[in-house]
């Protein structure tokens, strides 16, 4: 009787994890893109950029501050559970900030409605992905 052992390395586990994560991210991007296109079509929204409005500086500074707070807080916290929730809060803060700026600076457009709907869809998906992988 010959017993053959197959070596499974950490490298193989990481490859599988990265491949699954990339697959989930691609599916997530496709879902968000499809939802945004459908809501844009339903509401008759023509996409504009906040950088074409007076809110350009506020957008840049706000995003930089949110990213800075996330990076600093994620470096100081060691627990993976806390980091997962910080990641969710980070995305919610960025998406909420984008919706508020679109509402304020793109008043004639209903683009903020489309962004709000996609944010409401993407947040539970992110929570499910984090719950699935933890």
pLDDT in tens, 42-58: 888 888 888 888 889 99
Residue 1 lies in a domain: no
Residue 4 lies in a domain: no
pLDDT at residue 100, as a whole number: 94
In terms of average pLDDT, the best of 1-5, 21-25, 58-62 is 58-62
Q: In the chain, how many domains are there?
A: 1
* Cα–Cα distance, 51 to 105 (Å, whole number): 10
Residue 5 lies in a domain: no
pLDDT at residue 57, as a whole number: 93
Tell me: pLDDT of 5 over 80: no
Inter-axis angle of helices 111-133 and 80-105, nearest 10: 170
Sign of the four-CA dihedral 90, 92, 98, 103? negative
Categorize the per-residue pLDDT at 2 as very low, low, confident or very high, splitting at 50, 70 and 90.
Answer: low
Average pLDDT over residues 83-87: 80
Residue 2 lies in a domain: no
pLDDT at residue 103, as a whole number: 92
Structural domain for 14, as ranges: 10-133
Average pLDDT over residues 50-74: 90
CB 111 within 8 A of CB 45: yes
Residue 74 lies in a domain: yes
């Amino acid at each position: 009787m010959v017993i053959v052992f197959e070596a499974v390395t950490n490298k193989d586990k990481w490859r599988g994890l990265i491949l699954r994560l990339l697959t989930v991210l691609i599916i997530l991007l496709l879902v968000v893109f499809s939802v945004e296109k459908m809501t844009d079509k339903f509401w008759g929204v023509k996409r504009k950029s906040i950088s074409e409005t007076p809110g350009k500086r506020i957008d840049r500074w706000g995003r930089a501050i949110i990213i800075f707070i996330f990076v600093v807080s994620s470096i100081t916290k060691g627990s993976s559970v806390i980091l997962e929730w910080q990641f969710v809060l980070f995305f919610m803060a960025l998406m909420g900030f984008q919706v508020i700026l679109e509402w304020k600076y793109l008043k004639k457009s209903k683009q903020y409605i489309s962004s709000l709907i996609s944010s409401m869809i993407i947040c539970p998906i992110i929570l499910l992905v984090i719950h699935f992988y933890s």
